[in-house]
Amino acid sequence: MIEGRLHHVSIIVPDDERVHELAGLLGLTLGRRQYVAQYEADCIFTTGNGGVIEFIIAKSGKLSKFNKGMGGLHHIAIAVPDLEATKQQLAEQGIPLLETKPVDAGPIYINFLAPAYTRGVIVEYVQEVEPAAASQELPKVTQAAAETARAVQSSDTLATAPDGGRLDERDIFKSARSLRAEGRAEEAALRLREALRRNWLSPEGIEKAGRHIAGFLGESSAKPLDVLVLGQCTTHWVSNCLTAVAWGCGAAVRTVDGQYDNVIQELMTAAASGRRYDAVVLVPWSERLLGGEPGEGPARAAEELAFWQRAWQIVATQMSSRLIQVGYDWVSPGAVGHHLSGRRQGPVQLVRQMNESLQAALPPSAFFVDLDQASGTMGRDRFYDPRRYAWTKQPFSEAGAARVAQHLWSGIRAMVNGPKKVLVLDLDNTLWGGVVGETGPLGIEIGDGAAGESFKAFQQYAKALSQRGVLLAVSSKNNPADAREPFEKNPALPLKLSDFAAFEASWEPKSVAIARMAKTLQLGLDSFVFFDDNPAEREHVRQMLPDVEVVDVPEEAAQYIRALEAGQWFEALDLTAEDAERTAQYRAEAERRGLQESFASMDDYLRSLDMRGDVRDIDETDLPRVVQLLGKTNQFNLTTRRHSVEDVRALLARPRSVGLTVRIADRFADYGLVAVILGTEQSGETVPTLRVDTWLMSCRVIARTVEEFCLDALVRAARERGFERIVGEYLPTKKNQLVADLYDRLGFSRTGAVADNGMGYALDDITQVSATTFVARPA
Amino acid sequence: MMTKDEILQKLQDVFRDVFEDDELTIHRESSAEDVEGWDSLMHVSLMINVERAFGSKFSTTQVASLKNVGELVDLLESRLAGAPGGRV
């Protein structure tokens, strides 16, 4: 029997709305929210007295299919003091856990019991990480397990944003409200901007954020874009959403709504008032077009067209504002049914003809929002809400209103700023499946198979973007040669190197690479859109380069195209022949100018990272991770010696041997154990000499002066043990050119060739080491 | 079952959230005249937030007939009890 108490009961629900519905019905208060990557699920825990309920929202993965996708009661969780001990107790009874390692779920570690042993009841074991220990050091018993869990989490599938993950909508508004009450209105508005940028708000929250921001813009002195919104229906919610959507993209839009269905009079009043509007948005509603007697359709369509032409004339001659005309749409096919509605003046046919004549007559400088496309993409059943129309003559659902606002903003942006110009793409698991550095140019997933076809379709889409004038660029953490090889050698790739205006493959932070591209291409960072499958990279770019738009990339490659399209970044008023030539022009320009790094700004960047390093002697709990790194590290590995656990133990047992681990953290993330150094005494030397057997490092912290920090740690360890000199060697492999000159850079001198085409090195006076590092040691 | 007091308490949270005012206090007698910003458009936003918080939907007739917060509390109570007139 295992000692434990009930920790919580879990319910799987399809979406946030259902969570709020159930919590409302049951009188529960929602608290902490956490995304758990391994289960592809958001977990929301209730707070307050009594038992805790966990709501799970899984958009993909196994849990999303629970009870045929309908969800329901899922599992009970038992709290235990020590997961490892529980696992062993169960193992003694022959009962396995579903996972081999504890799963990191924020402040708790969890494991599931195999349901075959519990008559189908799903049981989870939970070990709470003590609050004090969570930020410092993990409980001793499970440190190795925690290390493994952290290693899993900090790989490419990082679970949450490094700053702690998604915030609950209510908390976001609460904090914005209290900041505002304290007179910190700008901070409140910026907090809402961050929530909007990260798509954390529901459609309802977007509208509410719009109201809040409208209030802020009313008090602020900065000059916003003034937009007049006039409709044949109520436009109030759409206008608020427009303010919010634009704010999320870094723009201030102040809206003025007219009286419902009073378009011409409102326009004349606005024109007479002398107030200048940057844009006028005109929103028709189909009731006037479709509300007539049978046979009246064509006459009504002609009237409507004349009506809008009159409105356009006022805008053009008296207001000199930019014009955004929304199209007509149908909500129901009408009594004639779907089959007949599309012909013989059925409602659908009338709407389509109306939209065609509107577009044909529209001034060429105006932007047309095709409402039929917008509602079709979302689905009319979701886009419209008949009850809202009955209540306030506002036909759109909350989600629909937010979507209309998105289209309006893409039009305003296209006219005021022009479309975004550059799409920055990652390579591994973005343009193809897998990691090219591991599988080689022909081993990546592209072309064949379900995943391969999705990546190929995404590349074709990107290529089509480039053909219409969007510049493509690559920012990848890879060896430059590895990164280029697939484009040169794998015929399945639709994209070729010549399709890219800039190609940055290095181990530098992506913010540095993108900033350099902006300089080389002579474009502002606000014309860049960044697309990367790795959430940590996205968060990094969001924080470091707030002007760059970062796409919320789903885990499923088949959804990449839609995710990229959803932001409508590249909406343009018109395309010209010049657009198609753009990539070639920029490439030539970039090559001419050459790439120049600014070292001063690089130092500033590294300093801003606030890196901290922790050096420890290898102990038993570190061994599994150390051996794992020895086995899999290819690139930053001077000697590529694949030692076993026994080898490492034997090495450490030798007198005066050195075995160090280095852990690194910065303001974005805790990278955990990232470097290993092994060394032993070199016999037969005149002065006491330490020979470096192994020096490896995870590529995630390369080019951040962690190398220099490691050298400093090595020198300190050597001096502590009475050594006066350090020797080592570089043994080349296909993968480790990255460190071919590491020892040279760190001030070692070459002592001549060694076996395996290697090069020997020595640091003769270890008291004279000056390596600049931006990694701080804990005090 | 929630009591009328509990419903009122929870409604107050919703009001504070919708009207962005953490000091806002409501009573059974509170009506649109007493709360700043409670116009016909905000009324719709408010009703939708109340529906979501209580997991219940109102009909157009019910929404139109409400005179004050007290009537909203009564309506919610009958809804939550599954009484007739409550299309949930």
Give the pLDDT confidence of A258-289 residue by residue, as tens digits: 888 889 999 999 999 989 999 999 999 998 89
Kindly report the average pLDDT of chain A as a whole number: 85
Q: Name the 3-class secondary structure at A507.
A: coil
Q: How far apart are CA A374 and CA A386, in angstroms?
A: 17
Give the pLDDT confidence of A501-541 residue by residue, as tens digits: 999 998 888 999 999 999 888 888 999 999 999 888 898 89
Among A21, A173, A208, select the one facing B55 at the smallest CB separation.
Answer: A21
- The DSSP code for A433 is B
The strand pair at A103-105 and A549-550 is best described as: unpaired
Matching fold, domains A423-567 and A609-776: no
Q: Inter-chain contact A20–B22, Cβ cutoff 8 Å?
A: no
Backbone angles phi, psi at A659, to 5 degrees: -140, 105
User: Are A774 and A607 a contacting pair, CB within 8 Å?
Assistant: yes
Q: Which residue has the higher pLDDT, A60 or A755?
A: A755
Q: How far apart are CA A18 and CA A314, in angstroms?
A: 47
Q: Which residues pair with A676 in a beta bridge?
A: A661, A696
**CA A756 and chain centroid, separation:** 43
Q: How far apart are CA A708 and CA A746, in angstroms?
A: 7
User: Are A252 and A193 a contacting pair, CB within 8 Å?
Assistant: no
Is A442 in the B-facing interface, judged by CB distances under 8 Å?
no
Band of residue A151 on the pLDDT scale cut at 50, 70, 90: very low
Whether B87 is covered by a domain: the verdict is: no
Looking at domain A5-153, its CATH architecture is Roll (3.10)
Band of residue A580 on the pLDDT scale cut at 50, 70, 90: low
Q: How far apart are CA A219 and CA A229, in angstroms?
A: 21
Give the pLDDT confidence of A27-44 residue by residue, as tens digits: 787 777 777 777 778 888
Band of residue A207 on the pLDDT scale cut at 50, 70, 90: very high
Mean per-residue pLDDT for A317-324? 90
Mean per-residue pLDDT for A331-352? 91
Band of residue A770 on the pLDDT scale cut at 50, 70, 90: confident
Q: Which two tokens stand for residue A284?
A: 């028709």
Is A598 in the B-facing interface, judged by CB distances under 8 Å?
no
- Predicted local confidence at residue A165, as pLDDT: 58
Mean per-residue pLDDT for A251-258? 93
Q: Amino acid letter at A375?
A: S
- Predicted local confidence at residue A49, as pLDDT: 65
Quickly count helices (H) and strands (E) in chain A: 29, 26
Whether B88 is covered by a domain: the verdict is: no
User: Are A354 and A301 a contacting pair, CB within 8 Å?
Assistant: yes
Mean per-residue pLDDT for A159-165? 40
pLDDT of residue A159 exceeding 70, the answer is no
Band of residue A338 on the pLDDT scale cut at 50, 70, 90: very high
Nearest in space to A324 (alpha carbons), one of A441, A207, A251, A225: A225
Mean per-residue pLDDT for A686-699? 92
- Predicted local confidence at residue A588, as pLDDT: 59
Band of residue A231 on the pLDDT scale cut at 50, 70, 90: very high
Q: Which two tokens stand for residue A41?
A: 């699920």
pLDDT of residue A252 exceeding 60, the answer is yes
Start-to-end CA distance of chain A, whole Å, equals 45
**CA A463 and chain centroid, separation:** 22
Whether B86 is covered by a domain: the verdict is: no
Q: Is the dihedral of CA A147, A149, A153, A155 positive or negative?
A: positive
Among A177, A394, A398, select the one facing B22 at the smallest CB separation.
Answer: A177
User: Are A123 and A90 a contacting pair, CB within 8 Å?
Assistant: no
Q: What is the 3-state secondary structure (H, E, C) of A707-770?
A: HHHHHHHHHHHHHHCCCCEEEEEECCCCCCHHHCCHHHHCCCEEEEEECCCEEEEEECCCCCCC
Among B48, B55, B60, select the one facing A24 at the smallest CB separation.
Answer: B55
- Predicted local confidence at residue A455, as pLDDT: 96
Q: How far apart are CA A199 and CA A405, in angstroms?
A: 15
What's the CA angle centered on A253, arms A250 and A259, to 5 degrees? 155
Is A234 in the B-facing interface, judged by CB distances under 8 Å?
yes
Q: Which two tokens stand for residue A538?
A: 């996205």
Q: Which two tokens stand for residue A3?
A: 């000692």
Q: Which residue has the higher pLDDT, A203 or A119?
A: A203
- Domain extent, residue B10, equals 4-80
- Predicted local confidence at residue A78, as pLDDT: 87
Mean per-residue pLDDT for A367-382? 96
Query: ipTM of this predicted complex?
Result: 0.84
- Of A65-69, A103-107, A591-595, least confident by mean pLDDT is A591-595
Q: Which residue has the higher pLDDT, A553 or A583?
A: A553
Q: Which residue has the higher pLDDT, A143 or A215?
A: A215
In chain B, whose CA is at the least distance from the CA of A397?
B48
pLDDT of residue A211 exceeding 60, the answer is yes
User: Are A643 and A630 a contacting pair, CB within 8 Å?
Assistant: yes
CATH number corresponding to A201-416: 3.40.50.1110
pLDDT of residue A73 exceeding 60, the answer is yes
Give the pLDDT confidence of A84-138 residue by residue, as tens digits: 888 888 877 777 777 777 777 767 778 887 777 777 788 888 887 654 333 333 2
- Predicted local confidence at residue A134, as pLDDT: 33
Q: Which two tokens stand for residue A81?
A: 């003091």
Q: Which residue has the higher pLDDT, A38 or A190?
A: A190
Q: How far apart are CA A566 and CA A551, in angstroms?
A: 9
Q: Inter-chain contact B55–A234, Cβ cutoff 8 Å?
A: no
CATH number corresponding to A609-776: 3.40.630.30
Is B39 in the A-facing interface, judged by CB distances under 8 Å?
no
Q: How far apart are CA A246 and CA A242, in angstroms?
A: 6
pLDDT tens series, chain B, 88 aa: 788 999 999 999 999 988 888 889 999 999 888 888 888 888 888 998 899 889 888 888 888 888 899 999 999 998 888 754 444 3
Backbone angles phi, psi at A161, to 5 degrees: -60, 140
- Predicted local confidence at residue A152, as pLDDT: 33
Sequence spans of domains, chain A: 5-153, 201-416, 423-567, 609-776
Is B60 in the A-facing interface, judged by CB distances under 8 Å?
yes
Q: Which two tokens stand for residue A132?
A: 């004090």
Q: Which residues of B touch A22 (CB under 8 A)?
A: 55
Give the pLDDT confidence of A426-448 residue by residue, as tens digits: 999 999 999 998 888 999 999 88
The strand pair at A41-47 and A53-58 is best described as: antiparallel
Whether B85 is covered by a domain: the verdict is: no
Which residues touch A608 (CB under 8 Å, ≥6 apart)? A667
User: Are A743 and A677 a contacting pair, CB within 8 Å?
Assistant: no
Angle in degrees, 0-180, between the axes of helices A169-181 and A185-197, rounded to the nearest 10: 160
Q: Which residues of A touch B10 (CB under 8 A)?
A: 27
Q: Name the 3-class secondary structure at A702.
A: coil
Whether B29 is covered by a domain: the verdict is: yes
pLDDT of residue A634 exceeding 70, the answer is yes
Give the pLDDT confidence of A472-492 residue by residue, as tens digits: 999 999 888 889 999 999 999
pLDDT of residue A327 exceeding 80, the answer is yes
- Predicted local confidence at residue A576, as pLDDT: 64
Most confident of the following: A488-502, A568-582, A632-646, A696-710: A488-502
- Predicted local confidence at residue A292, as pLDDT: 82
**CA A317 and chain centroid, separation:** 45
Q: Inter-chain contact B52–A211, Cβ cutoff 8 Å?
A: no
- Provide the whole-model pTM: 0.63
CA dihedral A343, A346, A348, A352 (to 10 degrees): 70
In chain A, whose CA is at the least distance from the CA of B40?
A392
Task: Tally C-beta pairs within 8 A across A and B.
Answer: 49
- Predicted local confidence at residue A156, as pLDDT: 27
* Superfamily grouping for domain A423-567: HAD superfamily/HAD-like (3.40.50.1000)
Return the residue matching tokens 């490659």. Answer: A557
Is A392 in the B-facing interface, judged by CB distances under 8 Å?
yes
Q: How far apart are CA A267 and CA A323, in angstroms?
A: 12
pLDDT of residue A196 exceeding 70, the answer is yes
- Predicted local confidence at residue A638, as pLDDT: 95
Is A173 in the B-facing interface, judged by CB distances under 8 Å?
yes
Cα–Cα distances (Å) from A632 to A427, A483, A648, A729, in that order, read 21, 19, 15, 20
Find the length of chain B: 88
Give me the number of domains chain B comprises. Answer: 1
Determine whether A559 is exposed, middle or buried from the number of CB atoms within 10 Å of its CB (0-12, 13-18, 19+).
middle
Backbone angles phi, psi at B25, to 5 degrees: -120, 130
What is the percent of chain A where pLDDT is above 90? 49
CATH number for the domain that contains residue B49: 1.10.1200.10
Q: Is the dihedral of CA A712, A716, A717, A718 positive or negative?
A: positive
Q: Which residue has the higher pLDDT, A147 or A578?
A: A578
